[in-house]
A = this chain, B = another copy of it.
Amino acid sequence: MKNRLTIGIKTSIVESMKIQIWSDIACPFCFIGTGQLNKALSAFPYKNQVEVIHRSFQLNPDSPRTATHSVSEELAKKYNVPLEQAQAMNAQVAERAAEEGLTMNMNTVLPVNTFDGHRLIHLAAEHGKQAEAVERLFAAYFTNGENVADLDTLVKIGQEIGLDETLIRETLVSDAYTAAVREDINEARILGIQGVPFFVIDNKYGISGAQGTQVFSDTLQKVWLENNPLTIVGDSTGAVCDDAGCVIPQAHE
């Protein structure tokens, strides 16, 4: 038998991109903004080189485990406006969501504490299911009127995305990921993030809020080209065809 000479081939490397999203489950514009980013990503040719990481944030850390008011009642109290006006404001937000293909049933939303929901997202992340957990929790909260602070509800949601029932339950009754959620919130504070969603790209660019799919698309392209610039070789007057036709470059004089 002959020894074989093998040439090892390494294929070319591209610089990946990292997007961190600080958001809260109980945050309508986080639901909308995450949807916009996902739309931009699905059309982005280098999506496989983009890593998306969800970071925890709590808009209302003092919310109870059981809802005592509707979101419109909460809003009316917060802004000191009549209930009807608060309902109209929420209807506007739901309309905005609908434009993005997302369903918000504001009348059935249960505004509860999201801390354990965030812990579930961290558990899911360890099993490669972070995006699924986020998506499912947004739907639970905004679309389905589920109580995302309730242990059994969270266990059910975790199971739906493929996590083990016992694992979820044992995790949530312990204080696992409590530190991780607090670290996310602390890091947001350090970065000066005061509102969510807040998107951090490559620890370099920040996008505050749900600014529309186009802003995300443009930013993906911009950062990609910055990370993977093309150096143009030769001159720029080569014989090319474009939509104006084919041009033969003239000899330089």
A residues sitting closer than 8 Å to B (CB atoms) are 1, 3-18, 24, 27-30, 32-33, 43-46, 48-49, 51, 59-60, 75, 78-79, 89, 92-93, 96, 183, 186-187, 190-192, 194-198, 200-211, 215, 219, 221-222, 224-225, 228-246, 248-249
Contact = CB atoms under 8 A, between A and B. Distances in A.
Contact of A10 (B13, B79, B93, B96): B13
Contacts of A209: 234, 237-240, 249
B11 A5 contact: yes
Contacts of A245: 75, 78-79
A17 B12 CA distance: 7
Contact of A203 (B9, B14, B59, B75): B14
B232 A29 contact: no
A173 B70 CA distance: 54
12 contacts: A1-B6, A3-B9, A9-B16, A10-B16, A29-B238, A45-B186, A60-B243, A93-B248, A96-B239, A192-B225, A207-B233, A209-B238
A6 B8 contact: yes
Interface centre among A195, A206, A246 (most CB of B within 10 A): A246
A138 to B, nearest CB: 13
Q: Is the interface of A mostly helix, strand, loop or mixed?
A: mixed
Nearest to A24: B241
A28 to B, nearest CB: 6
A206 B191 contact: no
Contacts of A11: 5-7, 16, 18, 51
A238 B211 contact: yes
Given A8-B13, A14-B203, 9 more contacts: A5-B11, A7-B48, A10-B14, A12-B204, A33-B238, A197-B240, A205-B230, A209-B234, A210-B240
Nearest to A242: B195
Given A211-B234, A240-B196, A45 B13 contact: no
